[in-house]
């Protein structure tokens, strides 16, 4: 009985030791460190009308080089600076905006975040040369934010007025954007205009009069600048809906300040421009033989149109009439054989070119063919 009790005690003690040892096994997971996004390093700020335009690349990885499961929340810090001052340890930073993770996508423009911070009347009432500074933190968890981004500083100026009466007209080679000239604030010199263009998402051609609310397939991007009230945009495609807006630019010393956007103008350019008439039409009459009837071979110079679809051939019995089309299908090459001629007849041939939008050119000069 005593021996059995001793054996039971030894077994029980052994089980306790094994359980304790199992709890401290080296393979057990250790507490996970909080996910911290990489710091933002390309923050930039520029004045745009009565707002500061902040742009930066959103982190997609943590400081451990692991992909973030979702976009991090964004914290935007701002500080007002006296003329000539630069941010330092004593700068009074204020958290002015927090963008939750679920709303970050609405600020994405391409691969970058684009955020507008409205300037206040106090900002414009400050002494000349006053500026504002910004820095960014991102946060994947509530427990810990990223390191501070690079710090940017921008001077505040009275903005120039936005251009008025913006219009877009369509030509075969370019979309021509025009607007009324504007004036610049006192103390500034004119520095021309900048034209921005976005590609409108299908079904939203009647875009809002607020460019920031238009549904764009491609975000607003600078397409060119001008020192006058006109800009020719030659890089476009017929049938694609676009939105245009124009900003005037004023120069204050070394700083350039853009106006707010002009009222946006939307346009879907249509190709209504026919090709040029074909040239160098020639015909050859092939007389009848015992085996084959007579026929007419025609050829002409290849059309140089970049959107050429093909050609049509017309035939008439009189030189001063357009005649009827005798090529049933659109011709892809500049040749045609007319097998329907009658001996002893005189015919006049003409050719037209057709583009891929269905626009047909004027007909070429007539060429006579006499069938023996």
Residue 81 lies in a domain: yes
Residue 360: give its domain's CATH number: 2.60.40.10
Q: Which of 124, 155, 186 is the last residue of a domain?
A: 155
Residue 134: domain span: 44-155
User: 153-173 pLDDT, tens per residue?
Assistant: 999 999 999 999 999 999 999
Q: Is 246 left (phi over 0), alpha (psi -120 to 50) or beta?
A: beta
Domain count, the chain: 3
The residue whose two tokens read 């290849």 is: 302
Residue 60 lies in a domain: yes
Residue 9's pLDDT band, with cuts at 50, 70 and 90, is low
Same domain, 241 and 305: no
C-alpha distance across the termini of the chain, in Å: 138
Q: Which of 267, 301, 321 is the last residue of a domain?
A: 267
Residue 84: give its domain's CATH number: 2.60.40
Residue 17 lies in a domain: no
Same domain, 207 and 303: no
Asked whether the beta carbons of 114 and 44 are under 8 A apart, the reply is no
A 10 A CB-CB count for 218 gives 15
* Total length of the chain: 372
Give the span between the Cα atoms of 255 and 154, in whole angstroms: 9
pLDDT mean over 309-338? 95
Residue 32 lies in a domain: no
Residue 1 lies in a domain: no
A 10 A CB-CB count for 178 gives 17
Same domain, 68 and 115: yes
Residue 91 is classified by DSSP as -
DSSP lists the bridge partners of residue 233 as 175
Residue 30 lies in a domain: no
- Of 314, 315, 313, 354, the closest CA to residue 335 belongs to 313
Same domain, 238 and 320: no
User: 182-203 pLDDT, tens per residue?
Assistant: 989 988 999 999 999 999 887 6
Is 322 a residue whose pLDDT tops 60?
yes
Asked whether the beta carbons of 286 and 297 are under 8 A apart, the reply is yes
Residue 7 lies in a domain: no
Higher pLDDT, 328 or 24: 328
Q: Which two tokens stand for residue 223?
A: 């397409």
DSSP lists the bridge partners of residue 335 as 299
Same domain, 49 and 151: yes
Give the model's pLDDT for residue 317.
94
Is 214 a residue whose pLDDT tops 60?
yes
pLDDT mean over 72-76? 97
Same domain, 187 and 147: no
Residue 76 lies in a domain: yes
Sequence-distant contacts of 142-147: CB under 8 A, at least 24 apart: 143/34, 144/34, 144/36, 145/36, 145/75, 146/36, 146/37, 146/38, 146/39, 146/40, 146/59, 146/63, 146/72, 147/39
């Amino acid at each position: 009985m005593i021996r059995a009790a001793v054996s039971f005690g030894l077994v029980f003690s052994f089980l306790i030791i094994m359980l304790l040892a199992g709890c401290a096994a080296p393979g057990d997971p250790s507490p996970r460190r909080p996910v911290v996004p990489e710091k933002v390093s390309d923050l930039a700020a520029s004045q745009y009308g009565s707002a500061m335009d902040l742009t930066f690349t959103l982190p997609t990885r943590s400081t451990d080089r692991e992909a973030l499961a979702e976009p991090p929340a964004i914290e935007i810090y701002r500080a007002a600076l006296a003329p000539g001052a630069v941010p330092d340890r004593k700068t009074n930073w204020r958290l002015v905006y927090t963008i939750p993770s679920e709303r970050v996508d609405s600020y994405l423009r391409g691969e970058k975040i684009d955020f507008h911070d409205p300037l206040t009347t106090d900002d414009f009432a400050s002494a000349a040369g006053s500026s504002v500074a910004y820095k960014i933190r991102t946060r994947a968890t509530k427990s810990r934010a990223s390191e501070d981004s690079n710090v940017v500083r921008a001077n505040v100026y009275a903005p120039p007025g936005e251009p008025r009466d913006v219009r877009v007209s369509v030509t075969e080679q370019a979309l021509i954007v025009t607007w009324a000239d504007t004036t610049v604030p006192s103390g500034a010199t004119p520095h021309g205009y900048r034209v921005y263009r976005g590609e409108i998402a299908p079904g939203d051609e009647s875009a809002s009069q607020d460019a920031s609310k238009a549904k764009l397939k491609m975000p607003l991007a600078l397409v060119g600048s001008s020192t006058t009230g006109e800009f020719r945009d030659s890089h476009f495609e017929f049938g694609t809906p676009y939105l245009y807006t124009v900003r005037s630019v004023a120069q204050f010393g070394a700083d350039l300040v853009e106006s707010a956007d002009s009222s946006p103008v939307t346009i879907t350019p249509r190709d209504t421009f026919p090709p040029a008439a074909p040239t160098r039409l020639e015909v050859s009459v092939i007389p009848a033989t015992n085996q084959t009837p007579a026929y007419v071979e025609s050829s002409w110079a290849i059309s140089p149109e970049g959107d050429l679809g093909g050609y049509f051939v017309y035939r008439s019995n009189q030189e001063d009439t357009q005649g009827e089309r005798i090529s049933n299908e659109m011709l892809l090459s500049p040749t045609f054989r007319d097998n329907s001629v009658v001996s002893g007849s005189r015919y006049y041939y003409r050719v037209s070119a057709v583009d891929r939008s269905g626009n047909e050119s004027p007909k070429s000069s007539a060429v006579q063919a006499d069938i023996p």
